[in-house]
A and B are shown apart, each in its own frame.
Chain A
Amino acid sequence: MALPIMDLGELRIEVTDIADGPLVRVDWRGKGNALQPTVALAPIFDDVLARARAGNATVDMHFEELEFFNSATITAVLHFIRRARAERRTVVLNYHGGLRWQRYCFDALAAFEKDDGLVRIRPLELPSPSRA
């Protein structure tokens, strides 16, 4: 399928289909600084949802290698969750449990883990990233 990788300034998003699950894995790396991320990310989010729909797959988002994202990019992710929910698609948000900023950001979303299991927030126990 098209758009397996999107580079948006310092942000790179990579999409991989994983048969075991099945999952559509979305890896976020770098820094999300965009002025209009909802618009800029729409093509890749469309692609992710199309893959999930076609494969009846869970969307498995990985933020643990993300270095920064602005609140507009967080909002774009929330809009994606909203769209996925409307389609009854499960979204798992994996984050680096050892990074304070990621804990604060994603723990706040734990309130949206409902009984329907459509949104899951998962801290990963990982070594602290080294910084140059």
Chain B
Amino acid sequence: MMHVELSVAPVWSRVPEVRDALMHGARAVGLVEDGAYAVGMVVSELLENAIKYGTFGEGAAIQVVVHLAAGVARVVVTNPVDAASAHPHRLRAAVARLGEVTSPLEAYVSRVTEILEEPAHSEVKPTAAAMTLEESGLGIFRVAHEAESTVSLRFLADGCVEVSASMRWGTTRDHELVA
């Protein structure tokens, strides 16, 4: 069993540090390599989204909770968000899309298709100004597909958004929590 609660500054360099630390922790309590990797990937993607799209006043931070217990791994990332921005709408749409498809793979492939079929800009080089957020919308679908997780979303009264991903381990050898 592992339960970790972290308050993470919204700084990009913290993402790999937190991901790697939690991956090591998951391995240390006996999660098999693929499970530990999935937990790390989920933490990384959700933390990246929080930093990119969160709205942080002075001293504000992102809350990260990772809970591993027999058969279940849960990652919860909470951050302040501007309700008037486009981000809450995009998040709702992505999670709703996951509920409409027959599998997370379908949603992932669908988003990849959209990216591949967007008009090609072979003569136009991307610029930092044009690509400020590098918004691909792939992260949530990757979390659901690659980690085989159930993604849920809550908007809290304090202006924060909470994204959680729950994964079940133990049904196959790959997904067995051995601790």
Residue numbers of A with Cβ under 8 A of B are 10, 31, 33, 35-39, 42, 46, 68, 70-72, 74-75, 78-79, 81-83, 85-87, 100-101, 104-105, 108-109, 111-112, 131
C-alpha spacing A116/B174, complex, angstroms: 36
**Which residues of chain A are within 8 angstroms of B52 by Cβ–Cβ distance?**
35
Whether the pair B120, A78 counts as a contact (CB closer than 8 A) is no
Which 9 pairs, one residue from A and one from B, show the smallest C-beta to C-beta distance? A75-B136, A86-B120, A71-B138, A71-B139, A104-B146, A100-B34, A83-B122, A78-B115, A72-B134
Residue numbers of B with Cβ under 8 A of A are 12, 15-16, 19, 33-34, 37-38, 40-41, 44-45, 48, 52, 105, 108-109, 112-113, 115-116, 118, 120-122, 125-128, 131-132, 134, 136, 138-139, 142, 145-146, 174
- How far in angstroms is the closest Cβ of chain B from A126? 15
Whether the pair A87, B122 counts as a contact (CB closer than 8 A) is yes
In chain B, what residue has the closest Cβ to A31? B16
Whether the pair A71, B120 counts as a contact (CB closer than 8 A) is no
In chain B, what residue has the closest Cβ to A109? B112
C-alpha spacing A33/B116, complex, angstroms: 21
